[in-house]
Chain A
Amino acid sequence: MAIAKKAIVWGLFAAGGTLTAFVFPALIALFLVIATGNVPESLQFEQIHAFASSWLGKACLFVVLFLSVWHAAHRLRVVAHDFGIRKDALVANAVYTVAFIGTVLAAFYLLKIS
């Protein structure tokens, strides 16, 4: 059981690492563009709402958010250990609970957009 669970967590970590490496620079750049005040046409409400309403848009957003949040949770658990926090069970519960909440919120908001 422990081995089976580890394989799932490791799989999410690896997939999330690859995905974030490829996608996050562009995502951060988009937030940078927004911060400058030059919001592109496709990020205005009508258009981004239409994108998030489509099933393809929903699927893309959900996969990115789901893998990223579990990737971050797994690594933050290790980071906590690296900085001398030796209560692994507590840390694991905390980070995976937050990842679960993030997953549920992402799914809830995406389903709400229609």
Chain B
Amino acid sequence: MSRRPYNRPMSTTTWYMRNSRYKVYVLRELTSFLVAFYTFLTIFALGALATSPERWNDFLASQQSTAMIVFHGLALLYFLFYQTFPWFKLAPKAMPIHLGEKKLPDSFIIVGHYVAWIVISAFIFWLAGVI
């Protein structure tokens, strides 16, 4: 081992700006803030629901604004393109399905995920009374 190994100069805070693949990786990882935000927003909503009808209605009213419409709209698009769709894309790599000697084609697994996603989303919307 060399006594003075060469350390390639690399920023620990902006390293991902060097390469578009790294940028996509960081953009994808940032969706974890959205997961945290919406989880705690839902927990907060549960707190209002557990307290009284008035608190629940106050919560609903507090969420109604143009700013929140814009925020949720952007968050939804961001989440779809940087969490949901990439997760489905990597599914065949994470859990390949073997049928004896053969492997189920990747496209089957990916399409299966999209179909399941549409069914689950439709079920949630039905449950919530949106459709």
Contacts and interface: CB of A to CB of B under 8 A. Distances in A.
A34 B35 contact: no
Interface string B56-81: 11001001110011011101100110
B30 A24 contact: no
A108 B121 CA distance: 27
Interface of B: 11-13, 16, 26, 29-30, 32-36, 38-43, 46-47, 49-50, 53, 56-57, 60, 63-65, 68-69, 71-73, 75-76, 79-80, 83-84, 87-88, 94, 116-117, 120-121, 124-125, 127-130
A52 B49 contact: yes
A76 B42 contact: no
B79 A82 contact: no
B87 A34 contact: no
B29 A65 contact: no
Nearest to B13: A84
Contact of A45 (B34, B38, B57, B116): B57
A113 to B, nearest CB: 5
B29 A78 contact: yes
A36 B88 contact: no
A35 B1 CA distance: 61
B73 A32 contact: yes
Interface in A83-114: 83-84, 86, 102, 105-106, 109-110, 112-113
Interface core residue of B39, B76, B117, B128 (most chain A CB under 10 Å): B39
Given A45-B53, A86-B12, A113-B46, A40 B64 contact: no
A63 interface: no
A40 B46 contact: no
B82 to A, nearest CB: 11
A110 B127 contact: no
Contacts of A17: 87
Given A51-B127, A61-B46, A68-B39, 13 more contacts: A17-B87, A21-B117, A22-B120, A30-B128, A31-B63, A32-B69, A34-B64, A72-B32, A72-B39, A75-B35, A86-B12, A113-B49, A113-B50
